[in-house]
Structure 1
Amino acid sequence: MEKITVIVPCYNEEEALNYYYAEMNKVMGELSEYAFELLFINDGSKDNTLGILKSFSQKDERVKYISFSRNFGKEAAMYAGFKNSTGDYVCLMDADLQDPPKLLPVMLKAIKEEGYDSVATRRVTRKGEPPIRSFFARLFYKIMNFISDTELMDGARDYRLMTRQFVNSLLELSEYNRFSKGLFGWVGFETKWIEFENVERVAGETKWSFWKLLLYSIEGIVAFSTAPLAISSFIGILMLVVALLLIVFIVVRTLLFGDPVEGWPSLVCIISMIGGIQLFCIGILGQYLSKTYLETKKRPIYIVKESKLK
């Protein structure tokens, strides 16, 4: 009997877990010809998430869990799930039911009958999401697809079903600074996309604030493109050319018309602008340098406090 491992990262999801478990039980009933492993990753939750997972595992031998020593982030939770999965097929899914479990049979059919290595999902609408957040999300995908060789699908969710070969390829990428949306595309393989309308959380609140999403987007840009470094170099060359032209202009004006003392406000503005550009370019360089610094430390991606895997 083939096995499907379902990886479910959890951070303060006590309100949603019972709903999720009930929905997954329905799907597992439909796919009774497969063995299932529900692998929950407790990412340092501060509520009763771990207690609920323990109760699930006591009454259902299909439920396994790994609990981190602190919050390491969703990327670390996904990597831990991949590393500890044992299924022939591996599914990544959120616990808030924004990733509809009912799509799993359709995804499995695409792999089994159509020969795909991975089946991924994307939202075609962003209903219920703040307009400003939707705008910046779409902008991020456009920027990434313009500056990176790795294609990112607009509206892509982490919800996907993968073959064991696909997962093993991901595990070979053991980098500390992880951006899985890019890694999924970087490893290649044949991927089918399934579209669905946005589903709001069944319970609880999102853990992704605008600020966290902004930092995550910077992580993706730095991880999959060196274009910002090229842009900073181009800006430096452009400002040098502008400065040379201004020098020529000032010399000519002085020789022809003298050099009256005027224009100090514009001078202050120019100095401020150049200083800002310099700090911006140094900041870009600092982002790449910081990622290199973190990689060279060779720290573990996550630390397990307790688990039940058998």
Structure 2
Amino acid sequence: MPKLSVIIPCYFNEENIPITVRELVANEARFPAEVAFEYVLVDDGSRDQTLRALLAARAQYPDRIRVVELVSNVGSYNAIVAGMAHATGDCMAVITADMQDPPELMVPMYAHWLNGFKLVIGNRQDREETGLAKTFAETFHWLMKHLALSNIPDGGFDFVFFDRQVADEVLKMHERNSNVFYLMMWLGYPYVNIPYVRRKRTVGKSRWTLQKKIKLFIDSLLSFSYFPIRAISVVGLLLGLAALLFGLYVIALKIFAPQGPTGWTTLMVVVLFVSAFQMIALGVIGEYVWRGLDASRSRPLYVVKQTHDATTGQ
């Protein structure tokens, strides 16, 4: 009997939990009768009543809900990794706690898994969201597709269905400051892409701030692309060529027009421009060096405070 583990990272989702659990349990009726379900809800250090809502849901469905309580907020991707480590299913799905992704999409995902695909992606063909959030998301995924991972679908994704083997491979990597969904793509398994329209959030307030989005973009780009380093090399080469040409111009000017203009303004512009480029280059290289240092320290991605499930009875 196949077992499906649904992993839901939760952060300030106290209003969403009752709705999310109700919809997920109702969605079970769409699956074949032989499928067993497990819901791994990870409290990512929420400081509201999210944990209380999760424990109430576990009390309602003690046979299928497992709550993983983290000590502090480590980010949704690390929370997903924690959920994967505690999931026991033959296959797994990751879905958000705000129900912007349709749970019924897991039914065709499961069918593709039965047909042998170890990775099935719910691809955001469009969004009901508008404004800056939609523009940022579309720009982010366009840049990642063209600068890092060319095999990712257009529009981006964070609704995935995958085999136990994929989860084990991701857990073995212990990747830091990365994107867990892009790690699944990087593994290279053939996948099926199912397009859908992402719903607009109707309950609660998103904690996915602009600062977190920018950090995710930097982490994803540096983890999967050599473009920043290559760009520094190319710009440095062009600046070196420009410096050579300017040097020849200055020498010729000194020889053929010794009384000509000294070029103070031009020289200052060049010095300031090159200095600015050097500082940017050092910043980019510093990002890579810091990530190397962070990985070498081997600190855990997350710390589990307590698990609440039927097995332990806690």
TM-score normalised over the length of structure 1: 0.93
Check the 8 A contact 1:92/1:158 in 2, yes or no. yes
Q: How does 1:95-244 map to 2 (within 5 A)?
A: 95-112=97-114, 114-130=115-131, 132-148=132-148, 151-244=151-244
Residues 259 and 180 of structure 1: CA distance in aligned 2, closer, same or farther (over 3 Å): farther
Please give the alpha-carbon distance, in whole angstroms, between the structure 1 residues aligned to 2:244 and 2:190: 52
Give the C-alpha shift of residue 205 in structure 1. 1.6
User: C-alpha separation between the residues in 1 aligned to 2:209 and 2:48?
Assistant: 19
Alignment partner, residue 52 of structure 2: 51
Post-superposition CA distance 1:29-61 (Å, at most 9, x none): 333432111110000001100001111111211
1:6 CA displacement: 0.5
Of 74, 91, 97, the residue aligned with 2:93 is 91
Q: Which stretch has the larger CA shift, 135-144 or 77-86?
A: 135-144
- Separation (CA, whole Å) in 1 of partners of 2:254 and 2:262: 13
Describe the shift of the 1:299–1:259 C-alpha distance in structure 2 as closer, same or farther (beyond 3 A).
farther
The answer for the alignment partner of 1:63 in structure 2 is 65
Q: Give the whole-Å Cα distance in 2 for the aligned partners of 1:217 and 1:154.
A: 16
Q: Does the aligned pair in 2 maintain the 1:19–1:202 contact within 8 Å?
A: no
CA distance in structure 2 between the partners assigned to 1:147 and 1:281 by the alignment: 18
Judged with a 3 Å threshold, the aligned counterparts in structure 2 of structure 1 residues 134 and 270 are, in CA distance, closer, same or farther, namely farther
Letter in 1 for 2:288: Y
Give the alignment partner of residue 76 of structure 2, picking from 55, 74, 77: 74
How far apart in 2 are the matches of 1:72 and 1:149? 25
Deviations for 1:268-290, whole angstroms, at most 9, x for unmatched residues? 32222111111111111111101
CA distance in 1, matches of 2:2, 2:147: 40
**Percent of paired sites with the same residue:** 27
Asked whether the equivalents of residues 152 and 181 of structure 1 are also in contact (C-alpha less than 8 Å), the reply is: no
The amino acid that maps onto 1:179 is N
Contact 2:118–2:191 (CA under 8 A) maintained in structure 1: yes
The letter of the residue matching 1:51 is R
Contact between 1:119 and 1:194, CA under 8 Å: does it hold in 2? yes
Deviations 1:75-110 (A, max 9, x none): 110111111110111111101001111111121112
Distance 1:44 1:123, change over 3 A: same
Q: What 5-or-longer segments of structure 2 have no aligned partner?
A: none
3-state DSSP of counterpart to 2:121: strand
Q: Displacement of 1:151 after TM fit?
A: 2.5
Q: Does the 8 A contact of 2:10 with 2:43 survive in 1?
A: yes
Distance in 1, matches of 2:303 and 2:112, equals 35
Contact 2:7 2:93 in 1 (8 A): yes
5 Å-filtered alignment, 1:33-44, equals: 33-44=34-45
What is the one-letter code of the residue matched to 2:224?
F
- Report if aligned partners of 2:127, 2:200 keep a CA contact under 8 Å in 1: no
Amino acid of the residue matched to residue 88 of structure 1? D
> Is there any run of 5+ residues in structure 1 with no aligned partner, and where?
none
